[in-house]
Amino acid sequence: MEERTGISGEGNAESRAAGHRLKSEAYFREKDLWGFIHRSFTKSIGYTGEDLRKPVIGICNTFSELNKCHSHFNELADYVKRGVWQAGGVPMEFPTISIGEPYVKPTTMLLRNLMAMDTEEMMKGHPIDGVVLLGGCDKTVPAQLMAAASVNLPAIVLTGGPMLNGRLGGRSLGACTDCYGFTLEHKAGNLTDEELAVAEDAICRSDGHCMVMGTASTMASIAEALGMALPGCAAIPAPDSRRRHLSERTGKQIVELVRRDIRPRDIMTAEAVENAITVTMASGGSTNAIIHLVAISQRLGRKLPLETFDAISRRTPFILNLRPSGKYQMEEYFEAGGVPALMKELGPLLHGGCLTVTGKTVTENLVQAATLDREVIRSMAEPLESQGGIAVLRGNLAPDGALIKQTAVSAHLKQHTGRAVVFESPADLLLRIDDPELEVDEHSVLVLKNAGPKGAPAMPEIGQIPIPQKLLVRGIRDMVRISDARISGTSYGALIVHAAPEAAVGGTLALVRDGDEIELDIAARKLVLKVPDGELARRRAVWKAPDPHYDRGYGLLFHERVLQANLGCDFDFLLPAELRRELLDGAEAP
């Protein structure tokens, strides 16, 4: 049987397709003992001998009642199966873990790598010739793309789609951007408990993931921009009948990918990754996309430095008017033409020759694409902003980089110097942020330490540090906030996150003290702790690393082997061997 897991020396799809042997043939067509067992056991669950001569398509169904975003996946899987049967394949559904963002504690980021490992091993260990990856919630799509990159079995992504817009009093609501807004106003005393409960009932009114350009929508857009999902997949609302139609087409197309032997590494080239970054920047996408794209790229055997993101951001205009950086939501995006329309606008900035799961190039896919609403999707000549959504900051406070979603920052804070108010841990933050005696004003810079990959643990989405209540009641709604944590893609404000190296491994963030001056200049990409080097050296000499959160099990494995944010937070041992040696021998290793 042909090995499908190497990084190099595999040839292109056309040269392989002529004579490649299906993986399932080694299970079902051999005349030995194991061939007998495989056929006998499989026939016992209803498949026939005729079925076992067809391409076997695995459907990775991440349905879970503990994952709201995936609660409708059993129906989607049925439509995928219909397409697989129609195209002459045999569908076989299998599960992996499913990580739902609102439920998993301490954070789904703890389990992204575990889900990627689970998906990889299920793909490698079973008699499937191709796989449909059903994902949607924030960490599920990147986990599946990481697995697909590692296994390199023909694969296609089918996301579950965004929720319909929430509605309340004639106003459109978006999860979780308005979740923050409602709870903030409740905390400020501007909403009653009863009014908050009404909003809870109104904001999530259908199946699907968050309907703003949060991480789920960003990663769905990335899957499409990479060429790993069918055109239009990202924006179709979850309850729309056209998502069922797309699911059936996805089932048909995976059989075609198997027949043509088109694999993820044929599609997810360096140029395709640049296309995905360009779409992310033009969309005002989530900062989480950077961690995930770095991890996916490294699984493909390629480094992806933060400078690449910043260079693409600088040349890419922000043209998608979606919340939290704009006005509209995914429902309007779909009606305006979705990702294909956005990519058509970005045409001069894209690598149009990249192969996609349609078997066609990006340019060929976009022939019929058109923008139907210029309020939602702007032209490059009339953008919302001249640069993309995310900026990479450098300086002594984050020598390996930090991120800020510049399109969601209040204008008066894009260049700011203020005195630090420091919280040593997430627990310290919860204890003191609303203390009336806290010495803080609207010019202060809130600093949260020990919330990174090793420190929190697992880098939770707590970088949207709350505005102290004493300032909330005065009408303050944004401040400069810095952490080594992540933020939800639905977050907004002057939030500097992913500071690397993190505080828990001795990054400069660990040395910040109350009253230190910190300078932010987004245009100059500068983040500076204005403390002399000698003083920082003295502080470093007495610094002690915090104790690990785990002493056993998967948590301990995560703590010991996770890479820093600028290296994608993957496990070092999951990278291809040559890249692993290069990274761990370099200065950026943890």
d(CA 10, CA 437): 64
Average pLDDT over residues 488-495: 89
How do residues 303-339 score in pLDDT, each as one tens digit?
999 999 999 999 999 999 999 999 999 999 999 999 9
Does residue 377 belong to any structural domain of this protein?
no
- Burial code of 105-143, b = ≥16 C-beta within 10 A, e = fewer? eebbbbbbbbbbbbbbebbbebbbbbbbbbbbbbbbbbb
Express the helix, strand and coil content of the chain in percent, nearest 5 each: 40, 15, 45
d(CA 83, CA 333): 27
Last residue of a domain, one of 203, 218, 251: 203
Are 468 and 580 members of one domain?
no
d(CA 50, CA 530): 72
Does residue 291 belong to any structural domain of this protein?
yes
Does residue 548 belong to any structural domain of this protein?
no
What percent of the chain is modeled with pLDDT above 90? 92
Angle at 242 between CA 169 and CA 80, to 5 degrees: 130
Nearest Cα to Cα of residue 115 among 498, 460, 486, 574:
574
Q: Which residue has the tokens 């690598």?
A: 351
Average pLDDT over residues 394-404: 97
Burial of 157: CB neighbours in 10 Å, binned 0-12, 13-18, 19+? buried
> What number of other Cβ atoms are within 10 A of residue 391's Cβ?
25
Are 402 and 527 members of one domain?
yes
d(CA 250, CA 69): 19
Burial of 14: CB neighbours in 10 Å, binned 0-12, 13-18, 19+? exposed
Does residue 89 belong to any structural domain of this protein?
yes
Average pLDDT over residues 544-565: 96
CATH number for position 441: 3.50.30.80
Average pLDDT over residues 147-162: 98
Average pLDDT over residues 69-73: 98
Does residue 375 belong to any structural domain of this protein?
no
Q: Give the largest Cα separation in the chain, rounded.
A: 79
Q: Average pLDDT, whole number, for the chain?
A: 95
Using the predicted structure, report yes or no on whether residue 163 has a pLDDT greater than 90.
yes
Are 97 and 213 members of one domain?
yes
Using the predicted structure, report yes or no on whether residue 380 has a pLDDT greater than 60.
yes
What six digits make up the tokens of 124?
């490698």
Residue by residue, DSSP assigns 208-230 as SB-SSSSHHHHHHHHHHHHTSS-
Using the predicted structure, report yes or no on whether residue 46 has a pLDDT greater than 50.
yes
Are 149 and 283 members of one domain?
yes
d(CA 148, CA 222): 14
Looking at residue 180, its pLDDT comes to 87
Looking at residue 311, its pLDDT comes to 97
Does residue 10 belong to any structural domain of this protein?
no
Q: Is-contact 281 244, C-beta < 8 A?
A: no
What six digits make up the tokens of 148?
């697909």
Looking at residue 489, its pLDDT comes to 84
Average pLDDT over residues 21-42: 95
d(CA 345, CA 348): 8
CATH number for position 58: 3.40.50.2300
Are 521 and 569 members of one domain?
no
Average pLDDT over residues 351-361: 98
Q: pTM of whole model > 0.85?
A: yes
Average pLDDT over residues 161-182: 94
Q: Which domain holds residue 189?
A: 167-203
What six digits make up the tokens of 31?
């005349």
Average pLDDT over residues 484-511: 95
- Assign 577 a pLDDT band (cuts: 50, 70, 90): very high
What percent of the chain is modeled with pLDDT above 70? 96
Are 460 and 506 members of one domain?
yes
- Assign 18 a pLDDT band (cuts: 50, 70, 90): low
Are 192 and 260 members of one domain?
no
Are 153 and 194 members of one domain?
no
Are 195 and 273 members of one domain?
no
Using the predicted structure, report yes or no on whether residue 9 has a pLDDT greater than 80.
no
Q: Is-contact 462 482, C-beta < 8 A?
A: no
- Assign 490 a pLDDT band (cuts: 50, 70, 90): confident
Does residue 334 belong to any structural domain of this protein?
yes
Q: Which residue has the tokens 């630090």?
A: 420
- Assign 19 a pLDDT band (cuts: 50, 70, 90): low
Burial of 48: CB neighbours in 10 Å, binned 0-12, 13-18, 19+? exposed
Are 239 and 154 members of one domain?
yes
* Residue 246: C-alpha distances to residues 120, 259, 586 (Å): 25, 20, 44
Are 159 and 174 members of one domain?
no
Average pLDDT over residues 403-417: 95
Looking at per-residue pLDDT, the higher value among 12 and 279 belongs to 279
Using the predicted structure, report yes or no on whether residue 15 has a pLDDT greater than 90.
no
Does residue 105 belong to any structural domain of this protein?
yes
Nearest Cα to Cα of residue 330 among 146, 451, 174, 559:
174
Average pLDDT over residues 212-235: 97
Looking at residue 13, its pLDDT comes to 64
Residue 196 C-beta-side C-alpha neighbours within 13 Å: 15
Order the strands of the 155-159 sheet from edge to edge: 90-95, 56-61, 130-135, 155-159
Query: Could you tell me whether strands 495-497 and 517-521 are parallel, antiparallel, or unpaired per DSSP bridges?
Result: unpaired
Nearest Cα to Cα of residue 266 among 357, 181, 179:
357
The total of structural domains in the chain comes to: 4
Looking at residue 8, its pLDDT comes to 38
Q: Which residue has the tokens 């998967």?
A: 554
Looking at per-residue pLDDT, the higher value among 15 and 420 belongs to 420
Q: List all residues 6 or more positions away from 432 whose beta carbon is below 8 Å from its beta carbon.
A: 423, 438
Last residue of a domain, one of 542, 561, 578: 542
Are 345 and 401 members of one domain?
no
Using the predicted structure, report yes or no on whether residue 21 has a pLDDT greater than 90.
no
Nearest Cα to Cα of residue 239 among 206, 285, 280:
206
Helix ranges restricted to H, 284-395: 288-299, 306-315, 330-336, 338-345, 362-365
Average pLDDT over residues 5-32: 71
- Assign 14 a pLDDT band (cuts: 50, 70, 90): low
Range in 28-32, 131-135, 291-295 the model is least confident about: 28-32
Report the first-to-last Cα separation within the chain, whole angstroms: 38
